[in-house]
Amino acid sequence: MTALIKRNTNWPTFFNSHDLEYLEPISHELDRIFKNVFPDFDDGFITKGSFPKVDAIEYSDKITVESELPGYTKSDIDICIKDNMLTISGKRNVEDKKEEKGIYKIRELKKSSFSRSFRIGDNIDVNNIDAKFEHGILMLTLNKLKPENKESDEIKVKIK
């Protein structure tokens, strides 16, 4: 955790660090057990993962993809399809506030970018994709190609 207020580090402590050394083996054993039971829950569990988060829903005639992109504008986002890969990417710059004479205590709003790719099937009409962006939500509609009404590919083989 990042402290917003500096604390007095000269305050007395209840224990010296060497007083708790006997707990170290127990701590390591508990960590090992926890990691065996919850292998995906590690030190970076909260920060890992993909950004942006998406919901993709398949319907009979289309696939919808909804994504939250807070802080981004429509001009920050790029959507591209190449080799059956749908890529949503974005880049934004946060400008410095030079008119104020404050000192940053925490500065996390900086330049940021993302890229997220998804494999799409051959049944998607890549020339008929709708994209809307409102209030930080990107909504894509990937329309499916209509099946061709062609004759069956079944071939009858005569036995001689």
CB 63 within 8 A of CB 144: yes
pTM above 0.75, yes or no: no
Write down the domain spans for the chain: 47-95+109-146
For 81, residues 6+ apart whose C-beta sits below 8 A from its C-beta are 87, 120, 126, 129
Q: How confident is the prediction for the chain on average, in pLDDT?
A: 76
Burial of 55 (0-12, 13-18, 19+ CB in 10 A): exposed
Which residues lie closer than 8 Å to 28 by C-beta, 6 or more apart? none
- Asked: is 47-95+109-146 a CATH 2.40.30.110 domain? The reply is no
Q: What whole-number distance in Å separates Cα of residue 67 and Cα of residue 137?
A: 6
pLDDT of 14-53, one tens digit each? 455 555 566 677 777 877 787 777 665 554 444 445 688 8
The dihedrals phi and psi of 74, each to the nearest 5 degrees, come to -60, -40
Segment 49-71, tens digit of pLDDT: 568 889 999 999 999 999 999 88
- Residue 108's pLDDT band (cuts 50, 70, 90): confident
The pLDDT of residue 101 is 76
Per-residue pLDDT at 9: 52
Which pLDDT score, from 0 to 100, does residue 143 have? 94
pLDDT of 77 above 70: yes
